[in-house]
Amino acid sequence: MLPTRRLRSVGGLLLALLCGAALTARPVVLVGTTTILAGGIVIQWQATSEFTSVKDNLNIDVGAAENRTLRGGTLPVTITATREETTEATVSLSISYGPGLEGPEETLTLESGTTRTDVLHEVECPIAGRFSLPAINCTVTDSSGSVTETFEIDQRVTVTVQTPAPTDLHIGQYGERYGGQYGEHRSAQIGSGTEVAELREYRPGDSVGRIDWKATARLNDPYVREFEAETTQDIALLVDARESLWVGPRGRSKLAYLREVALGFVTLAESASDPLSLTVLNDQGLHIQHTAAETVSQYHRIRWTLQNLTPEQSSPTPSPRTAPRGPAEASHLAQRLEGRTSSLGRTLRPYFAEPGSYIERLAEDPLFEAVRRSVDTNNRHSWTILFTDDTDPRRTIEAAKMAAKNDGVVTVFVTPSSFFTPQTQQTDQSMYDEYLDFEDFRRELDSIPQVAAYEVTPRERMQAVFAAGRTSSPQPLDGRDA
């Protein structure tokens, strides 16, 4: 309990009277001091009784319209304070919302003699995650206004704020949906584990404890069953969050579909305790980077980062051009080719006319540079998973080749841009024609050694486009299966 300003003033007066009584030795002053002190004790006792009554009879009810909501929306929250018995004490409830939720900071007051008060807040939810709301501190002032006590009300409601996500996710190749997991990695090592690797004949030196007696009885010779050693695999997620990836309605953009796939890989890595890293790039280059780790907080951090990506984090401003590599060499070759009149000279001259070479321009591309950095950072034999679109096919192909450079496995998930343009601007047939070009691009990606490429699209739109394509072209096109 804490004294109010009024009680502190009385305390100061009491101290002055005690000093006066000691100096003057007057009984009247001493009696007055004793009376005031007794009054203070009575006030303290009454305050304790009132505070106990308030704690026993005070009920705080916090109600949210729903326990799940979408990021960027609002959530109605009702806070009601009641007490079963009328007391002269005043109750003040200080309400505040923590990080992740934006609501008014307000104080509810149950005045002397009142039994109920309530308030309705419209709480904004700008980021995804799980939150408890709100924080309520209760301050009780006794009927004399002399003593206060403050304590926290443990009456919070847990709310999950989710990122708008598509429900018609299609992952596959050339319209065929793949239902399996894209991440079961098998160990190349033999050892103790749970997955059977092979059954082989017993060799001298093998432990007797490793003999498979059932297989031995069935085959009439001793056999040993080998198991895959339990290993971990470094997984590197590279998410392209440039401006072109935000095309589409809220919750149904290219990035929204790719994000659902990426979140699935976070869950997969967590279940296998695999080291996981995340790189997010925007139009200016590398935007967010979490280095590889296999802790619970790492999986939570990456999941939170993916769920809270916003278009505002992408910038249409191009990144500054990096210093050219080898402009002197390019200029020298251009001068040598200037006087050439042969067809070869005329063909090669434009490629060397600019100081920047093809490799230089690739280095300036945010996607290629992010992949290069990831390859330099991660261990050999790591698994790189790239999420992007088909805006620049050639650079995506070069980025995939770069990712596979380090003897690693690469999986690319690509969204075809034609599937995310407004349906009023295209017919299903024209979209199918554009999709065939996309399929050529995806197949070229898929043909790169150690690279697998998959399309990520809205399922219903994919079905409509393929239905239109089969109607106009009942025969397989370019060797593809219809």
Least confident of 213-222, 237-246, 269-278: 213-222
Give the rounded distance of the alpha carbon of 120 from its chain centre. 30
- Can you say how many angstroms the Cα of residue 402 is from the centroid of all Cα atoms in its chain? 26
Beta strands per DSSP E along 71-202: 74-83, 90-96, 106-110, 116-124, 129-133, 135-141, 147-153, 157-162, 169-173, 176-177, 190-201
Predicted local confidence at residue 3, as pLDDT: 53
pLDDT above 80 (res 156): yes
pLDDT tens readout for residues 368-399: 888 888 877 776 668 999 999 999 999 999 99
Q: Identify the band that residue 320 occupies on the pLDDT scale cut at 50, 70 and 90.
A: very low
Question: Which of these, 481, 477, 473, lies nearest to 428 by C-alpha position?
Answer: 473
Q: Which residue has the tokens 């796939």?
A: 261
Percentage of the chain with pLDDT > 70? Answer: 72
AA identity, residue 43: I
Handedness of CA 185, 189, 190, 194 (dihedral sign): negative
- Say which residue, 245 or 406, is predicted with more confidence: 245
The predicted model gives 223-230 an average pLDDT of: 69
What pLDDT does residue 441 have?
94
Lowest-pLDDT range of 197-206, 299-308, 321-330: 321-330
Pairing relationship of beta strands 276-282 and 235-240 according to DSSP bridges = parallel
Report how far apart the first and last C-alpha atoms of the chain are (Å, whole number).
79
The residues, ordered by sequence, that sit 6+ positions from 320 with a Cβ below 8 Å of its Cβ are: none
With contact defined as beta carbons under 8 Å apart, do 354 and 329 qualify?
no
Could you tell me the pLDDT band of residue 191, with boundaries at 50, 70 and 90? very low
- Token pair 């009575």 is found at 42
Q: Are 223 and 216 in contact (CB under 8 A)?
A: yes
Burial class (CB in 10 A: 0-12, 13-18, 19+), 479: exposed
What phi, psi does 278 have (nearest 5°)?
A: -140, 130
State percent of the chain over pLDDT 90.
Answer: 31
pLDDT tier at 302, thresholds 50, 70, 90 = very high
**Domains in the chain, CATH or no CATH each:** 1-162 (2.60.40.10), 190-230 (no CATH), 235-322+359-472 (3.40.50)
Q: At what angle do helices 366-377 and 393-403 cross, to 10 degrees?
A: 0
- Model confidence at 325, pLDDT cuts 50, 70, 90, reads very low
The tokens for 364 are 């300036």
Mean pLDDT of 156-180: 85
In the structure encoding, which two tokens stand for residue 55, read together?
A: 């704690």
User: pLDDT band at residue 306, thresholds of 50, 70 and 90?
Assistant: very high
Query: Does residue 341 have a pLDDT over 80?
Result: no
Pick the more confident residue, 313 or 117: 117
Task: Name the residue among 206, 204, 205, 186 with its Cα closest to residue 196.
Answer: 186
pLDDT band at 202 (very low <50, low <70, confident <90, very high): confident
Q: Strand locations in 345-468, DSSP E?
A: 383-389, 409-415, 451-458
Distances (CA, A) of 439 to 169, 194, 456: 18, 39, 12
Residue 366 buriedness (CB in 10 A; 0-12 / 13-18 / 19+): buried
Give me the pLDDT at residue 264, please: 93
* Strands across the sheet containing 276-282: 176-177, 169-173, 451-458, 409-415, 383-389, 235-240, 276-282, 285-293
